[in-house]
Structure 1
Amino acid sequence: MIDGYLRRLGIAGRPEATYETLLDLHRRHLDTLPYDNLSIMLAAIGAAEAPDPVDPAVTLERVAGGGNAGYCFHHNGLVALVLEELGFEVVRRPGQLIETTGPSGELDHLALEVRGLPTAENPGGRWWPDLGFGDAFREPLPLVDGHHRQNGFVYRLVRVGEQGWTFHHDPAGSFHGNLIRGEVGLDEVATRHPQLSTPPGDYTTKLVVQRRDATGADTVRSIRHTRIGEGASSRELRDFAEWTAALEGLGLSLEGVEEAALRELHQRQSADYDEWLLTR
């Protein structure tokens, strides 16, 4: 299935475990597979039996067959599996979402550290590839204290102890940042997944589809499509056909999803969006 994933990204054969490979895979993955919680939202309205599981092998099989990836647990779980198979040294780390009041204190994010790839920019050879943030960095960040600029966006890393760090997102991004500290096992990720993906979990109220490209990032949240970076814009997607076209335009596959389920989801999201407008 790893070969099927690589073919979907347009990579022929199995490349060597080098920084250049990591960079290329990171960019291609972002171009090909958006962040999404579609399976979660379909399950929440009763249009699917359950959200997609976070078993990396299951995600790999789904993606290799042309399906969607999912949210951070899916994306980074899949990529960790692929990188290890290609010979990279990978460490899985737990992340906590940072809001205005501070870290959440919960396992909200699966982060990856890749070691052993020194460059002139990063002689320590430790990198943070992340395909599960939706609208964050385009290329792996060197695990080096300071500000890191990419295509008009500015990110900041602050070291926390020997193995941890705090990530501060660009102010235009969709969240404040993330605290990464310690290591995490796949069993902990699997245990946390139902809490996030079934009501009243954090990912069960609004449809979110995001894709980071070379110059910016697009997000469809509920029925609003926004872009940050080059060509920044914002628009409402009240027309069903326009909404589905926007989702597919970000690379989301709607194959196998009944139109009636999508229409119901759009109607519910539209109603929730109007309620939100009244409380602004």
Structure 2
Amino acid sequence: MIEGYLRRLGIEGRPEATYETLVDLHHRHLDTLPYDNLSIMLAAIGAVGAPDPVDPEVTLARVAAGGNAGYCFHNNGIFSLVLEELGFEVVRRLGQMLEATGPSGTLDHLAIEVRGLPTSSNPEGRWAADVGYGDGFREPLPLVDGHFRQSGFVYRLARVGELGWTFHHDPHGSFNGSFVRGPVAQEDIEASHLRLSTPPDGAFTRKLVVQRRDASGAETVRSIRHLRSGSGAFERELRDFEQWRTALAGIGLSFLGVEDDALRELHKRQAAEYDEWLLTR
């Protein structure tokens, strides 16, 4: 089931469940599969019937065939499934962004804890793995209180009570951070996906976001803005459709099964909404 995913990441065979493998998979997933809400946005403008579901096996098959993963529920969903298939001990945790999209405790991010991988710097062997932030940390963070520097970015983890942690993003990141709480079930993920991906109130139905964390920074297309944080930082507007499409492809977005007319309509609407935002900022 996972061989197609591993081949997409450039791996033949099944690697052993070690800390080194976890780091390698984390890097390769981020390099290969960007964070994106393209299917949600296409559904929101009526170009497709419904967004891609968050069933991890469905996502895994789509990725193996050359398609996109999606946003956090998709990326972390298949990453946790693959880790389990390889023999890692994984706990899926309820996450909520600090800029909450609902009442306290509302699920809007799937977080991953990996256990049983002690190192000299993390003898307890508990790690926060996350390939679903888009511009989050590059490699797993040890689940201990502290600050962590990765390629010019600084992150912080702080314990909250018995079950939770707070992840504080670098100030140059696209969000402040997130709470990580107790375990979460697949049915909870599916219910939250429906809430977040359904117009007009769904938080992920308003603006296209495609982003990828690489070894030295993060690159993002948000609406028609193309920007980079970290090494080689820049920001520009993509009012030309072909430039916009090229930038999306450069970040790693797949257009498999996506009609050109639908993309053009999405770009047109995003440009118009961006101009409205400029008038009210």
Indicate the TM-score class for this superposition, using the shorter chain for normalisation.
over 0.9
Report the residue type matching 2:83 in the other structure.
L
3-state SS, counterpart of residue 264 of structure 1? helix
- How far the C-alpha of 1:160 sits from its partner, in A, is 1.1
Paired residues of 2:101 and 2:108 also in contact (CA < 8 A): no
List aligned pairs for 1:69-84, cutoff 5 A. Answer: 69-84=69-84
Q: Which residue number in structure 2 is paired with residue 275 of structure 1?
A: 276
Q: Which residue number in structure 2 is paired with residue 124 of structure 1?
A: 124
Do structure 1's residue 96 and structure 2's residue 111 form an aligned pair? Answer: no
- How far the C-alpha of 1:243 sits from its partner, in A, is 0.2
List aligned pairs for 1:4-43, cutoff 5 A. Answer: 4-43=4-43
Taking structure 2 as the reference length, the TM-score comes to: 0.98
Hey, what's the Cα distance between the residues in 2 that align with 1:161 and 1:145? Answer: 12
Paired residues of 1:145 and 1:156 also in contact (CA < 8 A): yes
RMSD of aligned C-alpha atoms? 1.4
Hey, what's the Cα distance between the residues in 1 that align with 2:147 and 2:39? Answer: 36
Alpha-carbon displacement from aligned partner over 1:96-136 (angstroms, at most 9, x marks no partner): 11039998542110000000000011111000110000001
- How far the C-alpha of 1:235 sits from its partner, in A, is 0.3
- How far the C-alpha of 1:161 sits from its partner, in A, is 2.0
Hey, what's the Cα distance between the residues in 2 that align with 1:43 and 1:3? Answer: 30
Paired residues of 2:225 and 2:238 also in contact (CA < 8 A): yes
List aligned pairs for 1:108-187, cutoff 5 A. Answer: 108-187=108-187
Alpha-carbon displacement from aligned partner over 1:70-90 (angstroms, at most 9, x marks no partner): 000000110111000000000
Q: Which residue number in structure 1 is paired with residue 195 of structure 2?
A: 195
Report the residue type matching 2:60 in the other structure.
L
How many equivalent residue pairs? 280
Q: Which runs of 4+ in 1 moved over 6 A?
A: 100-103
- How far the C-alpha of 1:163 sits from its partner, in A, is 2.8
Report the residue type matching 1:273 in the other structure.
Y
Paired residues of 1:34 and 1:252 also in contact (CA < 8 A): yes
- How far the C-alpha of 1:183 sits from its partner, in A, is 0.8
Structure 2: gaps (5+ residues): none
Paired residues of 1:167 and 1:179 also in contact (CA < 8 A): yes
Report the residue type matching 1:125 in the other structure.
G
Paired residues of 1:57 and 1:78 also in contact (CA < 8 A): yes
Paired residues of 1:98 and 1:104 also in contact (CA < 8 A): no
